[in-house]
A and B are shown apart, each in its own frame.
Chain A
Amino acid sequence: MTEPSGDGSESTDGESEQSATVEQRGDPLLSVSDLETHYPITEGWLRREVGRVRAVDGVSFDIYEGETLGLVGESGSGKTTLAHSLLGLEAPTAGTVRFDGDRVDELTGADQRAFRRRVQLIVQDPNEAFNPRMQVGKAVAEPLALNGMDDAARRQAIVEDALERVGLAAEDTDRYPHEFSDGEKQRLAIARALVVDPDLLVADEPTSALDARVQSDILALLDEVRREFDVSILFVSHDIDVVRRFCDRVAVMYLGEIVERGPVDAVLDRPAHPYTRVLLDSVPSLDPGDRDLPAPLTDTIPDPADPPAGCRFHTRCPAVIGPEDADLPPDQWERLAAFRFTVQVGELPAAIDLDDPPSEGTVRAAFDLPGTVTDETVAAGVDDAVEALAAGDLDRARERLAAVLPSVCEQQVPATVEVEGRPVTCHRYDPDVDADPRPWTGE
């Protein structure tokens, strides 16, 4: 296999130089500050608002000229809503987006048209990007026509040039979308974005619907494009391999918030936030001899309409901080934390059927509970919870566990602190919290 361990160290130098040069460029092209996009949840025919989905909830970052910023996170983290909010396809409910220094929500007339020309979107599925009945030449020329270019001959010349730049032929203009492979369609989508000479491409999972080899070709094309056109890219992806290859910096998003961001080599080689670590740990190794796949405490991504209190990741966090005043060795706390939060989110092991409650012994075995719990108060609470589960009473088990196993992670919203010069939002890095960061032990 061609992923030697030495590979990482070789590329690190090149990449850190790259990010250094990026950081020295003056004002950001795009500056996002405390952006929020909430959706109302309505009920009944009066559409009374009964709640809000906090899809994007206080996000800040910059993108500099010529830079590629990766945005990673699971589905439901708000990545796509964020991308759409920047483009004005969704209306943000708070915060500001500045492009070239100007607030985009205040743009009008020619300035607004210019913004819409200078920022272009590339979507995940190129099949959705084209009208099957429109010749691709016309489709690629559409943004030009929309921007007021009336001269058909000039449009044609620009389109032919764009097609050749993305590796297609000028003669392809007369063909229809179905005559192209998915990879070629994504090339067409890129050509269509490029005809108006944009400054920022927002690429929402542009390669995830494609084969590995075609992915590579499209990434190579985007790489050429960003260098040739000096275009910045916001690259939304759930594929960490692709982000590692392609991006200068990366922001990690969870439930509407950015939990960690920084240069791609720093974040992916030395991830600080436990969520970033969970994402990286979930990527299978390319070494068939290493098949370990560490899991988060629970699998359930909480509802963005009702995110967990404190740190939003605490219900899944393998590094959740234990109760301050309880006398619990780390190995006991880890098993009890898994017990507490799997019960809380209702991810009970297959052996536990609340309609046909199991014995206390089965409950203890199913949750792999420690034989002895050193702290007396905690031990009593855990006994109560086990008893409640054996009686089929999930709510009481939840209450007892929450009472004896409190965590700072659910009680306080974490502060954002600098770790190796990059912002990380986790209690373990907060000097005011009585807990230390864990060392990273991954690849």
Chain B
Amino acid sequence: MGERSPATGDPLLSVSALRTHIETDRGTVRAVDGVSFEVDRGEAVCLVGESGSGKSVTCESLTGLVPQPPAEIVGGDITFDGVDLRADDADLRSIRGDRIGHVFQNPQHALDPVYSVGEQLIEAITAHGDAGGRAARERAVDLLRRVGIPRAEVRIDDYPHEFSGGMAQRVALAIALAGDPDLLIADEPTTAVDVTVQARLIELLRDLLDDGMALLLITHDLRVVASLADRVLVLFGGTIVERGPVGEVFENPAHPYTQALFDSYDGFGRLPDRPSRHDLPTDGCRFRPECPHAVEACADGAQPPFYPVDGDAAHAASCVYYDDERDRTTVLDADRGVRPVGEVDDDD
């Protein structure tokens, strides 16, 4: 699949220099520290990174789900379809409910065990003011059908515990889709399900994308990224370290962190022990203590600027080696020491 043509005009979502800090008893964690990106209509953008990289806090900051305090959005702009999401709470609430849907790793968080899924779906539908009574129930059955629940007209009266993990995730998705959102934010939606269920959920998300919905997907599973994303943003230490079309990032991972992340898929990635989030640098390149290529310039000033990786500005890395004054091949073509496990085992 090729890249989607960018929508005309403004992006659907625009995030600029977002900074969300969290106060803890061990000091301030810069969970999100200057993140900027855009999502177009019908586009699938994936945030990739490990826990603590800031991907979930980024998404929770967009819709005000991040608990404040201890978290605080200390800077940046968030614009959704021309509306400033940081300015006005009433707008935010209506947009959050109607036009931005959310699904999470654990569908049970979105489902109330006391009510049937039908009651919950109908509540979501009437909250959006689209329909009431019989029409709302019909729409609820349609939504369940759409997300692939067999015998939806019967299952609508079942309770959340009567659904398997994969089916519960579909129900949660149906609730998120009740307002016919323009943007779906999905945080590890397939992590807790079987590969067979994951494959069907991926196909379902693709259908929604084909119908024009935009997707902001958080996942640490590079296979899910490869199967869904148009563009990829790689996060580390609250900053984006690399961004680009999925094909180019996978073909040519440019930032040493992205390379490390990808290597960990192939063999036993053996990087030095990870400093805790409190110990990460708060300036320059956050990855430099772990980076095999780090030089003095990595500690200079703010985060390194984004340099195009291969002449194409769409694929860019926040790494000093991609400045024209340096030799990018040092990083790009470095022998990253990937060894298949079979060979590792023969050592002794």
Q: Which residues of A contact B (CB under 8 A)?
A: 1-3, 7, 10-15, 17-18, 74-76, 167, 181-182, 211-217, 219-220, 223, 227, 238, 240-241, 245-246, 265, 278-279, 281-289, 291, 293, 295-296, 299-301, 345-348, 350, 353-355
- Chain B residues lying within 8 Å of A182, measured Cβ to Cβ, are 51
Query: Given A7-B340, A220-B268, A284-B226: A293 and B203 within 8 A (CB)?
Result: yes
In the bound complex, do residue A285 and residue B146 qualify as a contact, i.e. CB atoms below 8 Å apart?
no
Can you name 28 A-B residue pairings with CB atoms under 8 Å?
Answer: A2-B262, A11-B341, A11-B342, A74-B196, A75-B194, A212-B222, A212-B265, A216-B269, A223-B268, A238-B194, A241-B265, A245-B268, A278-B196, A282-B196, A284-B199, A286-B226, A288-B226, A288-B229, A291-B206, A291-B226, A291-B227, A293-B202, A299-B148, A346-B151, A350-B145, A350-B146, A350-B148, A355-B153
Whether the pair A75, B165 counts as a contact (CB closer than 8 A) is yes
Contact B229 A246 (CB under 8 A): no
Q: How far is the CB of B162 from chain A (nearest CB, A)?
A: 13
B296 within 8 A of A: no
- CB nearest neighbor in B for A279: B195
Residue B273 CB within 8 A of the other chain: yes
A2/B227 in contact, CB under 8 A? no
* Additional A-B contact list (6), CB under 8 Å, known A10-B343, A279-B195, A288-B229: A18-B346, A75-B194, A220-B269, A285-B226, A288-B246, A289-B1
A212 / chain B contacts, CB cutoff of 8 Å: 50, 220-222, 261, 264-265
Which chain A residue shows the least CB distance to B230?
A: A288
Residue of chain B at shortest CB distance from A182: B51
- Contact status of A246 and B223, CB under 8 A, knowing A2-B265, A240-B195: no
List residues 139-154 of chain B with CB under 8 A from any CB of chain A. Answer: 141, 145-146, 148, 150-151, 153
* Residues in B whose Cβ lies below 8 Å from that of A286: 222-223, 226, 250, 265
B323-348 CB contacts (< 8 Å) to partner A = 336, 338, 340-346, 348
Interface centre among B141, B151, B265, B343 (most CB of A within 10 A): B265
What residue of chain B has the Cβ atom nearest to residue A214's Cβ?
B50
Known: A18-B345, A223-B344, A296-B196. A285 touches B223 (CB 8 A): yes
Q: Is B312 in the interface zone, CB < 8 Å from A?
A: no
Cα-based distance from A76 to B150 in the complex (angstroms):
18
- Contact B227 A293, beta carbon cutoff 8 Å: yes
Chain A residue numbers with a CB within 8 Å of B264 are 212-213, 215-216
Asked if B189 lies at the interface with its beta carbon under 8 angstroms from chain A, I say no
A15 to B340, CA, bound (A): 9
- When A and B form their complex, what is the total count of cross-chain residue pairs whose Cβ atoms lie within 8 Å? 161
Give residues of chain B (269-304) contacting chain A, Cβ–Cβ below 8 Å: 269-271, 273-274, 276
B197 beta carbon closer than 8 Å to chain A: yes
Majority secondary structure of chain B interface residues (helix, strand, loop or mixed): helix
Known A-B contacts A223-B268, A283-B223; A2 and B336 likewise in contact (beta carbons under 8 Å): yes
A72 closest partner in B (C-beta) = B195
Select the residue from A76, A238, A350 with max chain B CB neighbours within 10 A: A350
Chain B: how many interface residues by the 8 Å CB criterion?
61
Question: Do B250 and A287 touch across chains, with their CB atoms under 8 A apart?
Answer: yes
CA distance A2 to B270 in the complex (A): 16
Residue among A11, A182, A227, A345 having the largest count of chain B Cβ atoms under 10 Å: A11
What distance in Å separates the Cβ of A53 from its nearest Cβ neighbour in chain B?
A: 15
Interface membership of chain B positions 213-250, coded 1 if the CB is closer than 8 angstroms to chain A and 0 otherwise: 00000001111111101000000000000000011001
Bound together, the chains give a CA A295 to CA B202 distance in angstroms of: 12
Is B8 close to A, CB under 8 A?
A: no
Interface positions of B (Cβ within 8 A of A):
1, 50-51, 141, 145-146, 148, 150-151, 153, 164-165, 194-200, 202-203, 206, 220-227, 229, 246-247, 250-251, 253, 260-271, 273-274, 276, 336, 338, 340-346, 348
Q: Find A220's partner among B202, B246, B270, B348 (CB 8 Å cutoff).
A: B270
Cβ contact within 8 Å between A227 and B348: yes
Given A212-B221, A219-B268, A1-B250 contact (CB < 8 Å): yes
Q: What residues on A are CB-neighbors of B50 within 8 Å? A: 211-214
The answer for the CA separation of A384 and B183 in the assembled complex, in Å, is 44
Residue pair B150, A300 in contact (C-beta under 8 Å): yes
Judge whether A14 and B346 touch: CB under 8 Å. yes
Docked CA distance A216–B339 (Å)? 13
Which residue from chain A places its CB closest to the CB of B196 in the assembled complex? A282
Which residues of B lie under 8 Å from residue A295 when comparing CB positions?
A: 199-200, 203
* Distance of A296 Cα from B1 Cα, bound (Å): 23
Given A213-B50, A289-B1, A299-B196, A345–B150 Cβ distance below 8 Å?
A: yes
- Is A7 touching B345 in the complex (CB atoms < 8 A)? no
Q: With CB as the reference atom, state the residue of chain A lying closest to B142.
A: A350
Known: A2-B263, A220-B270, A295-B200. A211 touches B220 (CB 8 A): yes
Q: Which residue of B lies closest to A354 (CB)?
A: B153
**Across-interface contacts of A74 in B (CB, < 8 A):** 194-197
Decide: A3 and B265 in contact? CB cutoff 8 A: yes
From B227, B336, B341, contact of A285 by CB (8 A): B227
Q: How far is the CB of B180 from chain A (nearest CB, A)?
A: 16
Which listed residue (A214, A288, A350) contacts B250, Cβ 8 A?
A288
- The listed residue with most B CB atoms (<10 A of its CB), out of A3, A11, A212, is A212
Q: Is the CB of A284 within 8 A of B227?
A: yes
Rounded to whole angstroms, the CA-CA distance of A89 and B144 in the bound complex is: 38
**Nearest chain B residue, comparing its CB with the CB of A345:** B150
Find the residue from B150, B229, B246, B274 having the highest chain A CB count within 10 A. Answer: B150
